[in-house]
Structure 1
Amino acid sequence: MSTAPPTTTTAPQTWTRPNSEFFISNNPSLLSVKAVNDAFGQEFLYWGKPFPEEVMHQMLHGSMSFGVYKHTQPQTEGEPFSPTAENTEQIGLARMVTDGTTYGYLSDVYVLPEYQGHGLGRWLMNCISEVFSTENMPYLRRIMLLTGDKRMQDWYTKIFGMEVIAHERRPDIGQDLVFMCARPNAKKS
């Protein structure tokens, strides 16, 4: 009799900061198709464009999506906060297209411009790095992404240990992209 192969299942998590109006969660019930579509319609997301709602819903829920949120209702001190789609506003996103065990492709990373400068992007990457650590995903073989921003290349190298492995010319978006990859469980020589 054969047994099922080992898998990694990650229950939804929420990360909070003390005395902060912001939190990060990979709970799919909090995702806002409208908020993400609105962001995809803005110029700062040069790679994206809005999609029909059912397409955006499938894109967000077919991936492990990490939302960055802001509380929209005052919290009572000492009371635990239970985030819902009604008491939060989605202000950022990162999607990991993944099988949940061996592979992750990081895509659609953003924090709305008006909320940048609060360390939310770094925090978002740290949350993803925690979930996609070799401790949580011991069979993780590869994390990959595309970026056109040199500053972000350096940042992804620092956060995930990524290396540039290829270039892609993209005259349609007015810049060239680099393909980056990290192999967390690769033997170091």
Structure 2
Amino acid sequence: MKEELQHKFYISTDKTKLDIRMIHGFLKDSYWAENIPLAIVEKAVQNSLCFGLYESNKQVGFARVITDYATSALLKDVFILEPYRGQGLGKWFVEFILEYPELQDVQRWLLGTKDAHGLYRRYGFKNLTEPERIMMRLNVHAYQH
């Protein structure tokens, strides 16, 4: 399966290949980044390790990792465009990211998801075992300036 996907699709961390307008278009309509401004997407891409999933030169998926490359990583904004779902691309994409050589020292991975728990559980993600030790600060006005 992996070889078949790799013949038709490929993954790159080259930010110059990213289709920022497509990424923004998807994210601004997502439940986790609703109404995110283009400038914020551009800044997030600039300051993250980004992964693009491509068919030929067309980008069909995206993910980014916020990390120090040593102790922790936050997997963010993972998506595959609708017409490309159901082909195993999501599994291959997440596996590729988690096996990325520069991230092998990372001890603690985090992510947020509303509806893909099954996908991430197969890669060792679990519900927080000590939620009382994890805190969050939410700025609900961040995208309104």
Fold match (TM-score > 0.5): yes
Separation in 1, partners of 2:117, 2:40: 29
2:6 to 9, 17, 22: 17
> Unaligned regions of 5+ residues in structure 2, if any?
133-145
Deviations 1:41-68 (A, max 9, x none): 44xx222235443322111121111111
- Paired position in structure 1 for 2:141: none
The residue identity in structure 2 corresponding to 1:28 is K
Separation in 1, partners of 2:44, 2:37: 11
Separation in 2, partners of 1:132, 1:96: 13
The residue identity in structure 1 corresponding to 2:125 is M
> Unaligned regions of 5+ residues in structure 1, if any?
1-15, 72-87, 168-189
Deviations 1:54-93 (A, max 9, x none): 322111121111111121xxxxxxxxxxxxxxxx222211
- Paired position in structure 2 for 1:103: 72
So what's the TM-score if we normalise by structure 2?
Answer: 0.76
Separation in 1, partners of 2:88, 2:46: 26
Separation in 2, partners of 1:132, 1:46: 30
- Paired position in structure 2 for 1:80: none
Residue 59 of structure 2 aligns to a residue in which SS? strand
1:164 to 124, 127, 135: 127
Q: How many residues of Structure 1 are paired with residues of Structure 2 in the alignment?
A: 126
Q: Where do 4+ consecutive residues of structure 1 move more than 2 Å?
A: 49-55
1:50/1:24 CA distance change after superposition, 3 Å:
farther
Matches within 5 A, 1:35-184: 35-42=22-29, 45-71=30-56, 88-131=57-100, 137-138=104-105, 140-149=106-115, 152-159=116-123, 161-165=124-128, 166=131
Higher helix proportion: 2
> Is residue 67–residue 94 contact of structure 1 (8 Å, CA) maintained in 2?
yes
The residue identity in structure 2 corresponding to 1:162 is F
Separation in 1, partners of 2:27, 2:110: 21
Q: 1:127, CA displacement in angstroms?
A: 0.6
Residue 164 of structure 1 aligns to a residue in which SS? coil
Residue 147 of structure 1 aligns to a residue in which SS? coil
Separation in 2, partners of 1:29, 1:41: 21
So what's the TM-score if we normalise by structure 1?
Answer: 0.60
Tell me how large the CA RMSD over aligned residues is.
Answer: 2.2
> Is residue 27–residue 77 contact of structure 2 (8 Å, CA) maintained in 1?
no
Q: Which has the larger radius of gyration?
A: 1
Higher strand proportion: 1
1:99/1:91 CA distance change after superposition, 3 Å:
same
